[in-house]
Amino acid sequence: MEVITTQLEVLRQKFGSRLLENEPLARLTSARVGGPADALVTAESAVELAEIITFLWQNEISYFILGGGSNILVSDKGARDVVVVNHARAIRFNDTDDQPTVWVESGANFGALARQACARGLGGLEWAIGIPGTVGGAIVGNAGAHGADMASSLLLAEILQRNSTALSLGKVDSLKETWPVEKFEFRYRSSLLKRQPGYQAVLAAVMQLTHTSVEAAQNKATAFTEYRRRTQPPGATMGSMFKNPPGDFAGRLIESAGLKGLAVGDAEISSLHANFFVNRGQATASDIFNLIQIAQQTVIEKHGIRLELEIELVGDWN
């Protein structure tokens, strides 16, 4: 079902020319696949993001916040929920204290933030260099690499919390909350927000940094980048397709099931890293989805382990 006509009218009235209809989503995702969004609006700041989400809650219109689109697979049929693209990208370093921090809006690119920190001689985020996508997406998925993760870097975040009573009373200012890191209940590639979608939006975050030298930070970053180059395929992917099951690696299980290099249409299980599925150019979301099913089925048959998706399926899969 498309975004129903009455809702589209409400959206047109509110957003005017900022509302894009039938807007292709493939170019907004790292896998470069997926159909159009019935309705799409972009937030240019955290204030705008809060205003848009509040409006959608008030009008009971379902939505999806799109960060860098690097951890999702959008259906070929596209998305019926309103897509809210997050371009809130302001960054403010506080490097005068003994314990430096950075305040960042949730639509900032996480890898770029890490590179800026390194260039200022601030350490602590080197692990995030090479992770595409936004700070907001990294918080929701508790992104991690090289033995660190968001849970170990985040101090607190500014959150918009859905609250029916406050919404019905028009008390929209009370929707803004500050969450300390513990409140996110982070687990491996998961957070409270990921487990209950639609109830919170990440507006901004404060992350812990350390004083170091530019050279030390950049050396660490270069080593991590080199490691990625050696172990992960270039091109259009979603990063790791499946979570690692306890005590094992999804890539090892897929590889030992004999699936490296297997292709469906123009989608391929990477022969460099079997947990990466690559769009060779013309793949569809269905091609990738078929590969997901083949990998899950074969790994169950060969190893008796059910691989759980790390990426999120978005849009209309019926």
Within 6-35, the residues that bind ligand FAD by CB under 6 A are 30
With respect to ligand FAD, which residue has the nearer C-beta, 61 or 121? 61
From 18-26, 68-76, 252-260, 295-303, give the range in contact with ligand FAD by CB under 6 A. 68-76
Size of the site for ligand FAD (CB under 6 A): 31
From 8-16, 134-142, 283-291, 292-300, give the range in contact with ligand FAD by CB under 6 A. 134-142
The Cα 83–Cα 300 span in angstroms is: 35
Is residue 280 part of the annotated active site? The answer reads: no
| Distance in Å, CB of 5 to ligand FAD, minimum | 25
- CB atoms < 10 A from the CB of 17, how many? 6
**Contact call for residue 108 and ligand FAD (CB under 6 A):** no
Is residue 240 part of the annotated active site? The answer reads: yes
**Contact call for residue 151 and ligand FAD (CB under 6 A):** no
Residue with tokens 């687990």: 187
With respect to ligand FAD, which residue has the nearer C-beta, 99 or 231? 231
With respect to ligand FAD, which residue has the nearer C-beta, 160 or 217? 160
Candidates 35, 239, 251, 315; binder of ligand FAD (CB under 6 A) is 239
**Contact call for residue 111 and ligand FAD (CB under 6 A):** no
Q: Which residues pair with 210 in a beta bridge?
A: 123
The contacts of residue 297 (CB under 8 Å, 6+ apart) are: none
With respect to ligand FAD, which residue has the nearer C-beta, 70 or 101? 70
**Contact call for residue 237 and ligand FAD (CB under 6 A):** yes
Footprint of ligand FAD on this chain (CB under 6 A)?
Answer: 30, 64-72, 86, 106, 131-134, 136-138, 140-141, 143-145, 193, 201-202, 237-239, 312
Just list the catalytic residues: 189, 240, 310
